[in-house]
């Protein structure tokens, strides 16, 4: 279906904001269309709050400004891609915070 580089799009529109998600990807599988959202970011414990803030921004933006995309977005469609290895342990406080925010653990590779 397509993709969008959100950070650049909002920058070009003059909507400079510190907490912007990176990418949206449209996937079509037969009659099933969905949107997934990808953040590429260093994955260490000190970055968890920042990524959660970006996720909150994205969810609010989708609900308020992009209802059609919001409708295409399943609850598990948010991914954090680690730009330099994953330095968060699965049983840590930070991992629990990610899960509570609706975000899976960061990963090096995303297969859709």
48-74 residue pLDDT tens: 999 999 999 899 989 998 999 999 999
Predicted confidence at residue 47, as pLDDT, reads: 96
Task: Report how far residue 67's alpha carbon sits from residue 61's, in angstroms, rounded to the nearest whole number.
Answer: 9
Report which of 50, 49, 21, 48 is spatially closest to residue 36, judged by C-alpha positions: 21
Confidence of residue 8 (pLDDT cuts 50, 70, 90): low
Angle at CA of residue 91, ends 89 and 93, nearest 5°: 90
Task: Report how far residue 48's alpha carbon sits from residue 88's, in angstroms, rounded to the nearest whole number.
Answer: 9
* pTM as predicted: 0.86
């Amino acid at each position: 279906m397509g993709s969008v580089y959100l950070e650049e799009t909002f920058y070009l529109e003059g909507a400079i904001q510190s907490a912007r998600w990176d990418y949206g990807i449209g996937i079509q599988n037969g009659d099933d269309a969905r949107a997934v959202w990808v953040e590429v970011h260093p994955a260490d414990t000190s970055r968890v709050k920042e990524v959660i803030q970006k996720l909150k921004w994205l969810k609010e933006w989708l609900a308020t400004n992009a209802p059609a995309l919001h409708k295409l977005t399943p609850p598990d469609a948010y991914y954090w891609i680690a730009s330099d290895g994953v330095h968060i342990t699965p049983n840590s406080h930070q991992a629990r915070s990610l899960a509570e925010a609706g975000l899976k653990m960061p990963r090096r590779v995303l297969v859709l």
